[in-house]
Amino acid sequence: MPSKSFNKVQKHIAKKKGRNTVLHENSRDTHRLQRASARDDKLNRLAAVRGKQNRPYLQRVLFFQKVAAEKASPFSIAEIQAFIEEYLHRDDEEIAQLKAERRPGRPPSSREDLLKQKHILEDREYVSGYWLPDLESPDSLGVLKEWNGEWVGLNRLKFVRIEKSGTKHESSFPPKGQS
């Protein structure tokens, strides 16, 4: 699918050439079209990578949005920690099933390894401060309920990091290290 840059260049060349848009193989206009196409391909690839990197955070916020929809009043730290624990153990059934399906003496499947690594990383994050929307603030709770599921819509939310010990720290969007 051509993007803006390619379409603009193509339109400009068509205006310049008129109805006859036959281009020579090594002409300047052909090279301009090739560069515009390559630029659009690169931007599309980068956007896909960025979307893949953001997907775990979107799924996390979506989970907490569903939790927030069930209750009108703000949550306490203990309730938030219970929901974090629930979210952290969301893949335990699949890990147990994969382990049960595996024959004795066989190494774990790549899917099982991936799930275990994800679980370890999220546990570490929870110890140092789990990044999530602020469920204690009524304003943030209202914005979270109205959120449409888009990455760009998250900048209106207030985020915090909640440690396993129960301490709460302000955080920023997008999540960077231990912000």
pLDDT, tens digit (0-9, with 9 covering 90-100), for 2-52: 467 788 887 777 777 776 667 778 888 888 888 988 999 999 999 999 989
Please say whether the beta carbons of 32 and 9 come within 8 A: yes
152 in any annotated domain: yes
Number of domains in the chain: 1
- CATH number, position 19: 1.20.1440.170
CA–CA separation, 39 and 138 (whole Å):
44
Report yes or no on 178 lying in a domain: no
Residues spanned by the domain of 133:
4-170
Q: Is 176 within a domain?
A: no
Long-range interactions of 167-176: CB distance < 8 A, separation 24+: 168/77, 168/136, 169/129, 171/129, 171/131, 174/54, 174/57, 175/57, 175/131
- Asked whether residue 179 is assigned to any structural domain, the reply reads no
Task: Dump pLDDT digits (tens) for 121-150.
Answer: 999 999 988 999 999 988 889 899 999 988
Residue 93 lies in a domain: yes
Is residue 77, in this structure, part of any structural domain at all?
yes
Buried b (16+ CB within 10 A) or exposed e, 4-27: eebeebbeebeeeeeeeeeeeeee
The whole model's pTM is what? 0.76
